[in-house]
Structure formats: structure tokens, C-alpha cells
Amino acid sequence: MTKDLVTSRKKTSSYVGRMSGSLRTILNSADIWLIMVLGLFLRLRQFTKSDLWFDEAYTGILMRVPKALYLSELKLDPHPPFYNIAMRYLTNVIGVSDVTLRLPALVFGVLTILFIYLSIKKFIDRETALVAALLVSISPFLVEYSVEARSYSFYGFLGTLALYFYTHRKYWALPVVLVPLLFTHLMAFTVVSAFFGIVFFDFVSSLLQKSSLKSQLPKIFALITVFASLLYFKAYVFNYYGETTIKAQASKEWIRPVAYSNVSRSMEAYLLGVKVKLPGQDTLNDVDFIFDARIWGAFLVVVYFGLVLFIVTKYIRKILSISKSDRNVLEQILAFINNEFVRLTLLFIVPQLLLIGASFYLDNNLYVERYLFPASIFFLASFAYLIVKSLSFEIRAFVVLGYFLLVQAIIPHPYLFGMKRVATALQDFDKEIVFLAPVEYTVGRYYLGENRTLRLYSPEDPLNTYNHWPFIEGDLRPKDPSSAIFVATKYQSVPPTFMKLEREDLNTGDYILYIQK
């Protein structure tokens, strides 16, 4: 009996020890979970705040159209199909709604916070990882795109997952992430090329340090696979879309003219966010906090480069302190490039420079901040490195708190709402429903469904059929305008022959319903 009692005590002690260890792990990780909860809260605030906008409505329509139309539309979409294919399978299971379309973006946005923490913790240290995770959780740029039913949040998550495998030296797993990443967005080749570059440098550096070729096999596998994927991607893009389509995509008037100053402009966008849900170039958010957004953006970029100068100066002094007899120039260069900050910087600078170079090569504009979505995450991680390695705890706490307060002072950008209400108000209407612009037609088609008689007619351009827009085929102008209801935004001008539809129970937000006099 004594023996059984001793055995029982040992088991109890072992169990308590395991429980104690698990509790310590949870408590030690409490800060990252709190940061993730903060990131989730900031994203949930935006999750159902607005109706789906044009790009999201396009995704919703794409998920529910017949297979033949779905496949033909995929070819017209300027971006590779991986995300839309994955979403098609998912929505076949969970259905198509505002929530189900935006939910994957929300999940991947929160997971990005966790994986940037795990990556930087392994790559640098825990303190830098926490600051990086905090910046990623509160960045308005990342928050807004984490609740948009498009590929950007998934695109960023794959980039962060690639960083996770790279920092954990799981080179064999890199192609598993980088190949899907390559086929998620047309400009993802810039991010994949940056990863290829730093892995190639690691490989060369290892050979110079006399590492055995056998130990480098995972890197060789990753390099060959990723390089082959890049070659295939180039052939795929030009064969699938054709050079004419690519140049047409690059020549869109709304894209900002390409310039090397786009690099610093992107830094401002990653820190202050942009006005999402708008067709056109990424415009910085407005800020109501002493100065306007341009001044705050420039100030934050100056702070960034000031900290870079401090770190570089510190490193140069360290080299100069080494006696000439012990100084090996090649080793010092390799050591500098091997620095964690330099590699993080390359991961966001190289994609920017590649996209600028591609724009000059095509003699057209390609550069849009969201097209380089993973670069924003790597930039914030590099900023976290500078904050932790350059500033004392008190100053860095002040800087991070100041940034948090600054982004809370961002003025919410108003977006049209009310199309859901329009759909409810017209659910029993069996005549033609006419929209005055293709953007509103697409959003209306998503909310009203495929079995309604929807028309498109612009009083300002009555002969335009808009057949170059997605999901608009044939002549959609109204056949019987006298019995139709016309849907316009409160910002659109309408002909004097239109009369506002007045009804006590009618509340359609930013949309107004008209009939012809």
C-alpha cells in the first residue's frame, strides 16, 4: 500500500508539474495573446461597418455564378486565380454572404500578427517580436485590408508564413508557401524574388564559410524550385493574359505615376493607412491630430531613416574599433548583410524597386501600395527592430503609445452604404431596376441576386453599354423605363425627368430611388 501511495504521489507531482509548466507558458505568452485580441478588436470594429464595395461585390458574384461563367471570368481577372479558386471551394461549403466573404481576410489578418511574432522572436528576440506584432496589429493599412473580401490579407499572411519558414531555417517548406503566393497576386513575383535573393545569399555565404554541400541541400531545393516557379509564372502570365492585356492593366489612369519617391510614400501609407474601398490610387488617410497626414507621414519616415542612420553609424564604429590585422573586409560585408535588420529591409525594399523597375520597363504605371501587401508587414517588422535596438524602454514605450494614439485620430473615410436596404425595399418589385453606373450595378447585382431584371443606363453617356466591365454583357439599357425604378447615389446627378420615390418606410442610406415622371 505504501508503494501504491508513493506511485500515486509521483503521478500527482508529475501532473502538477506539467500543469504548472503549461500555466507558465500561458502566462509568459499572455502579452502576444493580448496583442492578438487588440488586433482582432480593431478589425471587428470595421468588419460589418459598411456594405461590400465594388471589388468585394465582384468577388461575391464570382463565387456564385455558374461554373462556365466563373471560369471565363477568371481569365479576364488581371490577377492569378489561386485565391479565387480557394474561395470558390470555401463558399460552396459555407455559402456566400458579407460575413463569409470577409471572414477569411479577418482570420488571415489575425494569424499574421501571430506569425510575425513567431518569426521575429526566432530571428531576433522576443522584445522585438512583441513590438513588431503590436505594430502589425494596429497598422491602419493592415487593419482595413484585413476586413476586405479580396486576396490582400491572404497575400500578406503567405508572405509572413514564408518569413516564418525562413527564420526557422525550414528551407524545404519555403516553396510550399512561395508557389501559392506567386499565384495569388500578379505582383507577388516581386516578393517571391526577394525571398529567392536572401536564400541565395545565405547559400553563397554558407559556401564561403566552407559548409558542406550536403548541409545546403534544403537551400538548393528551395532555390531550384522557386526559380523554376518564377520562370513558369512569367510564361504563364504572358501566355494566359498576353502582353497586350498586361500593358492595358499597367496603363490604368488611376495608378500614380511611377517614381523612386514611391518608396517613402509607401512607408507613409503602411504607417497611416489609405482610403480603402475607393477605385483609384491609394490616398493617405486624413488625420485629426495637430497636423495633417502628409506632415505626420513625413515625420514618421524621417524618424525611420534617423534610426537607420543611428544603427548603421553604430555598426561602422564597431568595425573601425577592430584592429586592421584582425579586420577581414569580406567577412564584415557578409556579417553586415547577414544582419537581421538588413534582410528584413531587403524583403520590403526589393519588391518596391522591382515593381518600379517593371513600371519603367513596360513604360507604364504598376505601382500601387496594396500590390506589395507583404512588404508592409516586413517594413513594420524592420521599424520594430529599429525602435527596440535604438531606444531605451521608456522612450520606445512613448513612441509606440504615441503611434497608437495617432492612428486612433484617423478620420474614418465615409463609404456608400444602403445597398442592402435597397435590396430589401425592392425585394417584391418585379420590373426593371436600373443603375446609373457600373460600380453601383455590380454592388446592386451582388445584393439583389442573379434572378432580377437589372439594367445599366447612364443619362450622361446613354450610348455606353460598359461591356468592358466584368459581368456586363450585351445591351443592359432599360427596355421599359416608364415602369422601371432607377437607383442612384446621393452624389450622382439625375435628369430633370426623374422623380424621387417618396415612401415613409423607405430608408436607403446613401442611395436614392427614382421613377420617371
Asked if pLDDT for residue 440 goes beyond 90, the answer is yes
Q: Per-residue pLDDT averaged across 202-207, rounded?
A: 87
Question: 0.85 cut: is pTM over it?
Answer: yes
What local confidence, expressed as pLDDT, does residue 290 receive?
A: 86
Give 36's pLDDT tier (boundaries 50, 70, 90).
Answer: very high
Nearest to 368 by CA among 286, 271, 253: 253
Asked if pLDDT for residue 114 goes beyond 90, the answer is yes
What local confidence, expressed as pLDDT, does residue 242 receive?
A: 58
Asked if pLDDT for residue 341 goes beyond 80, the answer is yes
Average pLDDT, rounded, for the chain: 86
Distance of alpha carbon 428 from alpha carbon 505, whole angstroms? 15
Q: For every residue of 242-275, which 3-state class applies, written as one string?
A: CHHHHHHHHCCCCCCCCCCCHHHHHHHHHHHCEC
Return the bridge partners of 153, or none.
none
Q: pLDDT tens digit string along 234-290?
A: 887 767 655 555 555 544 566 777 788 889 999 999 999 998 887 666 788 888 888
Give 461's pLDDT tier (boundaries 50, 70, 90).
Answer: confident
Nearest to 238 by CA among 224, 254, 249: 249
Q: Per-residue pLDDT averaged across 341-367, rounded?
A: 89
What local confidence, expressed as pLDDT, does residue 26 receive?
A: 56
Please state which of the ranges 15-29, 107-121, 180-194, 210-224 shows the lowest mean pLDDT. Answer: 15-29
- Percentage of the residues of the chain whose pLDDT score is greater than 70: 87
Asked if pLDDT for residue 328 goes beyond 70, the answer is no
Distance of alpha carbon 94 from alpha carbon 77, whole angstroms? 24
What local confidence, expressed as pLDDT, does residue 323 receive?
A: 56
What local confidence, expressed as pLDDT, does residue 428 receive?
A: 86
Most confident residue range from 87-96, 231-240, 422-431: 87-96
Spans of all domains in the chain = 23-47+78-408, 419-516
Asked if pLDDT for residue 5 goes beyond 60, the answer is no
What local confidence, expressed as pLDDT, does residue 19 receive?
A: 46
Return the bridge partners of 513, or none.
487
Q: Per-residue pLDDT averaged across 419-426, rounded?
A: 89
What local confidence, expressed as pLDDT, does residue 102 receive?
A: 96
Asked if pLDDT for residue 1 goes beyond 70, the answer is no
pLDDT: which is higher, 359 or 344: 344
Asked if pLDDT for residue 6 goes beyond 60, the answer is no
What local confidence, expressed as pLDDT, does residue 61 receive?
A: 95
pLDDT: which is higher, 21 or 436: 436
Q: Per-residue pLDDT averaged across 147-159, rounded?
A: 95
DSSP letters, 127-179, are HHHHHHHHHHHH-HHHHHHTTSSSSHHHHHHHHHHHHHHHHTT-GGGHHHHHH
For the four alpha carbons of 376, 378, 379 and 384, in that order, the dihedral sign comes to: positive
Give 167's pLDDT tier (boundaries 50, 70, 90).
Answer: very high
pLDDT: which is higher, 49 or 52: 52
Place of cell 439583389: 448
What local confidence, expressed as pLDDT, does residue 259 receive?
A: 81
Distance of alpha carbon 87 from alpha carbon 149, whole angstroms? 10
CB 39 within 8 A of CB 138: yes
Nearest to 44 by CA among 135, 107, 97: 107
What local confidence, expressed as pLDDT, does residue 360 receive?
A: 86
CB 116 within 8 A of CB 163: yes
Q: Per-residue pLDDT averaged across 404-420, rounded?
A: 88
Nearest to 182 by CA among 146, 238, 219, 231: 231
Please state which of the ranges 90-104, 321-335, 455-469 shows the lowest mean pLDDT. Answer: 321-335
Q: Per-residue pLDDT averaged across 109-118, rounded?
A: 97
Q: Per-residue pLDDT averaged across 190-202, rounded?
A: 94
Give 14's pLDDT tier (boundaries 50, 70, 90).
Answer: low
CB 516 within 8 A of CB 482: yes
pLDDT: which is higher, 389 or 207: 389
Please state which of the ranges 2-16, 89-103, 480-494, 500-514 shows the lowest mean pLDDT. Answer: 2-16
DSSP letters, 14-58, are HHHHHHHHHHHHHHHTHHHHHHHHHHHHHHHHHHTSS---HHHHH
pLDDT: which is higher, 34 or 1: 34
